Chain A
Amino acid sequence: MAYNTCINQGYFTSDGTDKIIAVRSDVDWVKVVNLTNIAGATQWAGTEWYWQRGMADGDAVTNYHAAGTQAISTSTCAVGYNGVTYRGIYLMDSSTNPVGAIDATITAVSNATPPVATLTSTATLQPGEIVRMINVTGAQQLGGMDFTVGVGTFTGTTFSLDYMSTIVAGTVGSWRRIAYDPLYYPRKRFISAISAAASAVVKLTVTHGYTVGQKVRFRVPAAYGMVEMNNLVGTITAISTANNTVTVDINSTAFTAFAFPLTAAVPFSHAIMSPVGEASEAVTGKISLDDSVYNTGYIGFKLGTSATAAIALGSAGGSNGDAIKWLAGKSFNL
């Protein structure tokens, strides 16, 4: 009797980014209310969203203020209103790793630092998400690699490969959105640069999530130049979230310079950094595991929003500062 009727509820204050909510049981329906918008009388402000299985991912039935009053009108996120479509509710299961639909509209990848891709539209993407680049003419070395994008530059037609080193400009190509990180934390990451320094600074192409004290091993193939780094193990002594780097206790001053391969180097093996080993903490005697042992899998849903204020206003994830309550549950029959 008690099974499959699990009801979950909660609340949060929107920070203006997509809100991921992990729940203990896979949901069949979700209801969201934006208390801030309900109390106000802002035209085009969304007040309520409802999604259930059978509806498209990212859609929801939504109520909104069609005028600057508290009168309510109804639409769906996919149909939209005021000439805008909105972001609704997405089911999440991070134990899968689906890649998004291919977008073959890239027309250029610049030689700026970091490189910036130009394409037809970034409508299906959000800043900070992960993108896999595919078959960029003139920049084949990017193919198959994952990048955090859009943190530095994000417009309707461009996104930056935020932590990539400078390349010779490429032209046409494709990309896919990567929905989830690999299941286990910490994850191996592609390396885009290693400095020559008493404590080497390593830049990674995807937001790394590492912390000080973790041990890592480097794989640096000959195509990258700095072969002295290959197979070395280091301990992370500092991190930079702004630059997405880790500093390790390896003196690389006398090493061959690190140089990201050029397009003609394909095929080659990539330079990567992997978590390894374990460490005992002298004070507590506790053993901390540094390799990938933390299963980060979750099921739940995501309330979408946008960096564009007009879209955030009618999206389930809300605008920065909005007070939002949600309710989700299972159904006996679908």
Chain B
Amino acid sequence: MVLNEAAKRLGVSLRQTEDQLTRDMLAATASFINCTAGVNGDNPTEITRTDVDTVVRALLNNDAYTILDNIEGDDKFGTAPIRDAYFALASTQLSGNLDGVAGFVHKNQYPSPKDALRSEWGSIGNLRFLLSSVGSMTGSGSNLGANVYNIFCVGMEAFACIEQDGYSAQFIYRPPIYDGPLALNCSVGYKFAEVPRITNDLWVINLRATLA
């Protein structure tokens, strides 16, 4: 029972670690566009619809495929059809700012909210925003010294996690009798070997923004 629970928690930890490594890889190398259409006086500015349109246009010009299909409109109050979309991976700190962007549709306004992902916040144009508390942020990265939030706008198969041959994820359990001479403690853990990498750098653009 305890071992099962430990395995579950370690599984979550493994995938979160994988996500964080991928995040750091994208932060290190993905080319970026600064938000510049906002009014907060910083560089980059807060995110606006103009900036979203700029990054979507760049991905379209680079022949990036969208990841999600459109959500067809339905005859329900307060809903709107959703375009096919690229993913925008960002920090939860941006949630309030996204609400204020022209054309933002919260996921509860989707014609079919069950089509929204758990981490999804909503959509703007052809971007659907997935937020995480460990989303990428560059400390004091703006002209005025504010934190810069990195919004990774990605098309289909823009990046991947490549497992090393014969060495993907391993769950390891050593019972007490094998773990120490006095059999007092057991060890439970995981290890994995993989490389996150961009498969086509034209299909991933980091849209950098500060808060309003």
Contact = CB atoms under 8 A, between A and B. Distances in A.
Interface of A: 1-3, 95, 97-99, 102, 132, 134-135, 140, 143-144, 174, 176, 182-188, 217, 219, 231, 266-270, 272, 274-277, 289, 291-293, 295
Nearest to A187: B28
B80 interface: no
Interface in B42-61: 42-45
Given A183-B28, A270-B34, A274-B29, A292 B143 contact: no
Interface string B134-159: 00001111111100100000000000
Interface stretch (B8-16, B100-108, B118-126, B194-202): B194-202
B27 A182 contact: yes
Given A102-B140, A276-B201, A292 B28 contact: yes
B180 interface: yes
Contacts of B198: 276, 291-292
A135 B32 contact: no
Given A183-B21, A269-B44, A292-B29, 15 more contacts: A97-B139, A144-B43, A176-B145, A182-B28, A185-B28, A188-B28, A188-B31, A231-B202, A267-B36, A267-B143, A268-B34, A269-B32, A274-B30, A292-B197, A293-B25
A293 B195 CA distance: 6
B18 interface: no
A135 B144 contact: yes
Contacts of A135: 143-145
Given A134-B144, A143-B144, A184 B25 contact: yes
Nearest to A269: B34
B80 to A, nearest CB: 30
A317 to B, nearest CB: 27
B29 A144 contact: no
Contact of A267 (B43, B145, B181, B187): B43
B24 interface: yes
B25 A183 contact: yes
B33 interface: yes
22 contacts: A97-B138, A97-B139, A99-B139, A132-B140, A134-B140, A144-B44, A144-B143, A182-B29, A188-B31, A266-B43, A267-B34, A267-B35, A267-B38, A267-B43, A268-B34, A269-B33, A269-B34, A270-B34, A274-B31, A276-B198, A277-B201, A293-B197
B31 A219 contact: yes
Nearest to B20: A95
B69 to A, nearest CB: 28
A291 B197 contact: yes
A267 B31 CA distance: 17
A186 B140 contact: no
B197 A289 contact: yes
Contacts of A268: 34, 36, 43
Interface string B182-212: 1000010000000111100110000000000
Contacts of B28: 182-185, 187-188, 292
Nearest to B179: A1
Given A143-B143, A144-B141, A176-B140, A272 B32 contact: yes
Given A134-B140, A143-B144, A269-B32, A1 B197 contact: no
A270 B142 CA distance: 12
B21 A295 contact: yes
A191 to B, nearest CB: 12
Nearest to B61: A231
B180 A1 contact: yes
Contacts of B25: 183-184, 292-293
A219 B196 CA distance: 22
B144 A217 contact: no
A51 B177 CA distance: 36
Contacts of A231: 202
A156 B38 CA distance: 39
A144 B201 contact: no
A176 B138 CA distance: 13
A291 B34 contact: no
Nearest to A102: B145
A236 to B, nearest CB: 15
